[in-house]
Chains A and B, each alone.
Chain A
Amino acid sequence: VQRVKLADLSPGGVLAEPVYNQQGVLLLDAGCKLNAKHIRIFKSWGIESVCLKGHSAAAGDTSDKMPRSAGRQRLHAEMSRQFSQVLDDPLMVEIMECALRQRLNHAARQEALE
């Protein structure tokens, strides 16, 4: 089993663990074979990585990025609630993704200033 970042995912991989969104709703169950649409849906929900079968585990490889990643997850969850009634509109998904990145960058800049 290996945790694979979303950017490195390609169709054909098989999920070793189920994938949930920030509200805990199941997006795709363990054992499913990924296709391009699944990967797009993960992206729209801000999923950062998933566990795939057949890969050797590489422990601790993302530990140094944990705090930032935790902040991102929190903000993503907050924004998903804010956008919950409009996420069927792909443009609104795009707006949410852009705003999420900008808010994280802005927060990082403010932090650096302090």
Chain B
Amino acid sequence: MSSPELRRIISRADDLPTLPRTVLKITELVNDPKSSAKDLARVITEDQVLTARLLKLVNSSFYGFPQRISTVTGAVVLLGFDAIRNLLLTTSVFDLFAGKSRRQIQRQEAFWDHSLGCALGAKVIGEHLRHDKVEELFVAGLLHDIGKIVAMLLMPEKFEQVSARVEESDGLMIAAEESVMKVNHADIGRLLAERWNLPKKLIKVIDCHHRPEEAGNFMLETAVVHVADIFARALNLGSGGDRKMPPLSRTAWNYLSLQPPAIEPIMASTLSEFDDIRKFLN
């Protein structure tokens, strides 16, 4: 979509949040086939906060390793490059959006809880499908609604109008965004993801999570996040900014070949992992 509103956001691209330099550097290293675990560990250990977080997370029940991991190199070797990148991206993105007003903070927390719920749902669905890159699904779920946060920060007035429209119509956020801003959070999120040079797969999931039929080569990841989004809403994990349920794409559901008896066990695991990980991220 190339509406005037989106062009306006692009013109203000310098205002878009940037990732911490360490995370950018790590992304570069992960993409470079010549880099080693040691190279990666060196960059991470330059940042004390990232180091502490990484060790805290790899030792959490989320990963469930039997013995304690005390070095960054150890964590890199155990988890693998992609997982480390995703993990650091996750914790950094959480910091990036420090809300200003109390109301903003509350809203952001609700968005993040929803994103976290969707991320865990995506991971659990991935495990159910025996997908080999569940980390990637986790990050995709976490970032799927990032456009909402950007809209809230860069276009606060429009965003208030969108929220008012959601309240008054008791409808979906995406419909209110399109009617007020002529652009939706998936478009805005895609823009940010492109600017951050995120992998194509992530850009596609962010862009197409409400219309997975258009996800092309990344149908699986997009379908997983689409379904996980609906599960997270049904389980009331945080808030997507509205109180209505979007329709389930039958194409996405059929693509995953999920069977109805799998729904409840997936939800149960998602809820239990949500309780666990929330303690670490808050």
Interface residues of A, Cβ cutoff 8 Å to B: 79, 81-86, 89, 91-92, 94-96, 98-99, 101-103, 105-106
Q: Mark B78-108, 1 if CB is under 8 A from A, else 0.
A: 0000000000000000000000000000000
Bound CA span A102–B264, Å = 7
Query: How many interface contacts (CB-CB < 8 Å) are there between A and B?
Result: 52
> DSSP class of A's interface residues: helix, strand, loop or mixed?
helix
**B244 with A84: CB separation less than 8 A:** yes
Q: How far is the CA of A51 from the CA of B79 in the complex (A)?
A: 58
Interface of B is mostly: helix
Give the contact stretch, choosing among B132-140, B150-158, B214-222, B231-239: B231-239
Across the interface, do B267 and A83 meet the contact criterion of CB distance under 8 Å? no
Q: How far is the CB of B117 from chain A (nearest CB, A)?
A: 11
CB of B245 within 8 A of CB of A86, answer yes
Q: How large is the interface on B (under 10, 10 to 19, 20 to 34, 35 or more residues)?
A: 10 to 19
- Jot down 22 A-B pairs with beta carbons below 8 A, ordered by A: A79-B234, A82-B233, A82-B243, A82-B244, A82-B245, A85-B245, A86-B246, A86-B247, A86-B248, A89-B248, A91-B248, A92-B245, A92-B248, A94-B260, A94-B263, A95-B230, A95-B263, A98-B267, A99-B267, A101-B264, A102-B264, A103-B236
In the complex, the answer to whether B235 meets A102 with C-beta atoms within 8 Å is yes
Q: How many angstroms from the CA of A63 to the CA of B213 in the assembled complex? A: 49
A84: B residues at CB distance < 8 A: 244
B271, CB-defined interface residue at 8 Å: yes
